[in-house]
Amino acid sequence: MPAPLAATRIAKEQSAIDEIDGWLAQLDVKLRDALLVDDNDDEVAQLDADIAAQKRKREHHKLRIDSLRAREVLEQKATAAKQKSELIGRIEAKIDELRKAVVAFQKAQAEAIKHHRRWQDLAVEVAVAWPWGPNHQTAAGFDLDEVNRDTRHELCRIGSGQLLHAGQLQRPSFPGGLNPKLELLHNPGAITPLLDTIDQRHGLAKRVLRASLPVTEPEMEKAS
């Protein structure tokens, strides 16, 4: 039974009880008056019967109110249990969705590590393929420490913590990030993107390589 309907019925039953209480008060007065009259047994008996009938009706209304309230409590508990069950279902579904996100993250992380290791391997291969010298090798990013440093800078650029929902929630930073400059601590988005850094490093490496080539002079055209 919907709560408003139960409340309406309870109010109706209580109104009936109040009305009966009014009748009982009047009957009590009539009974007292009848008892003062001699040879009035029939009226007294009728008043007793009327009072008893009204009291039974009052008790019926009271029992109905008790039953309605008991049913209302049971229905409220059932509704609360249903709502709780639905909430649990939504939370469990969200947990399952969260697990899917972790599965996707795990796969992406494994793929990222595979590419990162390939990056490291190629950096080592290029480092030993030419006598760079320590400064050029470091500047070109062929040192494994530089690979890790570039990686951490990029993690800081794209994974720094942020405020969500008007500052109500602070999202923590992705682990492992490193801001390259003190002045960028509060502006990680200004960190140079990884690919731009790599292009700068590799541009330097290629200039070093080409600088080692012998200078060739163009042949003079022979006079005809």
Token pair, residue 9, equals 């019925």
CB burial class (10 A; 0-12, 13-18, 19+) of residue 93? exposed
pLDDT band at 45 (very low <50, low <70, confident <90, very high): very high
Residues 157, 189 contacting (CB under 8 angstroms): yes
- The confidence band for 218, taking pLDDT boundaries of 50, 70 and 90, is low
pLDDT of the residue at 224: 44
Identity of the highest mean pLDDT range in 67-71, 105-109, 166-170: 105-109
Work out the mean pLDDT of the chain and round it to a whole number. Answer: 91
- Measured between alpha carbons, how far is 100 from 105 in angstroms, rounded to an integer? 8
> Is the torsion defined by CA of 175, 176, 177, 181 positive or negative?
positive
Encoded amino acid at 35, one letter: L
pLDDT in tens, 128-162: 999 999 899 999 999 999 999 999 999 999 999 87
For residue 141, which of 124, 129, 153, 118 has the smallest C-alpha distance? Answer: 124
Name beta bridge partners: 163.
170
Q: How many CA atoms within 13 Å lie on the side-chain side of 104? A: 6
Each domain of the chain, given as residue ranges in start order, spans 3-92, 130-211
List, for residues 78-101, the tens digit of each pLDDT value.
999 999 999 999 999 999 999 999
- Cβ–Cβ < 8 Å for 65, 10: yes
Q: What is the mean pLDDT of residues 13-38?
A: 93
Whole-structure pTM value: 0.67
Give the tens place of pLDDT for each residue, 165-179.
666 667 889 999 999
What size, in residues, is the chain? 224
DSSP assignment, residue 140?
A: T
Task: List the structure tokens of 21.
Answer: 């209480």
Residue 2 per-residue DSSP state: -
DSSP secondary structure letter of residue 40: -
Q: Give the pLDDT of residue 203.
A: 97
Any idea what DSSP says for residue 147?
Answer: H
Alpha carbons 102 and 42: distance in angstroms, whole number: 89
Q: Scanning the structure block, which residue is given the tokens 């408003």?
A: 4
